[in-house]
Amino acid sequence: MVHKLVIAVDGPAASGKGTVARALAVHYGLPCLDTGLLYRAVGLRAGGDADAAVAAAHALDPAWLDDPAVRGEEAARAASLISAIPHVRAALLARQRAFAAQPGGAVLDGRDIGTVIAPDAHAKLFVTATMEVRAARRAAELGRDPAHVLADLAERDRRDAARAVAPLVQAADADLLDTSDLAIDASVRRAIVLVEARIGRAR
């Protein structure tokens, strides 16, 4: 019997992982953490400086996550850069693992949840979509030229996959959810089916 439920949702930018994670949290009545916001908040305060990023990671105040700027493009670029710094990742590791370890469980989304933060999660999803679809989604969200957004996403993917510590990679036991041709409701329904199949095996 599963009395605790931890769900790991990983994937690249604009794949729909955040939307899926939030919907799963509502469905199962679990707290949800967008771990990318931690890196965005740290990156904004670091101003591109590695030492400042490490200091900010250690001093992280949850209130920083409520700053609207944390969800902007400047924060996204900063997060992608500082997330490659091993000492930054180490400083944020315990905070994320503590969130996953709380009674009853949790849903966490990011890029290394199923591989590093919660490798023993009861269900793991790797949410993705084609680069063109992801660029179109992000361009619509930001009101920008899809071609420029596509170039930005490609560079972020390269950095996330190539970093030495906790690179973006699908966990061996994660279920793939490709949202390229799925609307939000369909993506969420499919995610629930995949999670139910996983936790059903543990009952």
Q: What pLDDT score was predicted for residue 164?
A: 82
Q: Is 124 helix (H, G, I), strand (E, B) or coil?
A: strand
**1: pLDDT confidence band, cut at 50, 70 and 90?**
very low
Q: What is the mean pLDDT of residues 122-133?
A: 97
Q: Enter the tokens of residue 13.
A: 């930018």
Going from N- to C-terminal start, the domains of the chain cover: 5-198
CA distance 150 to 134: 8
Domain 5-198: assigned CATH number? 3.40.50.300
Which DSSP helix (H) or strand (E) runs through 28? helix 17-28
Scan for tokens 């967008």, then name that residue. Answer: 34
**pLDDT 10s digits, 18-34:** 999 999 999 999 999 99
The per-residue pLDDT for range 56-97, each reduced to its tens digit, is 999 999 999 999 999 888 898 899 889 889 999 999 999 999
Q: Residues 99-118: what's their mean pLDDT?
A: 96
Residue 47 near residue 162, CB atoms below 8 Å:
no
Q: Is residue 129 pLDDT above 90, yes or no? A: yes
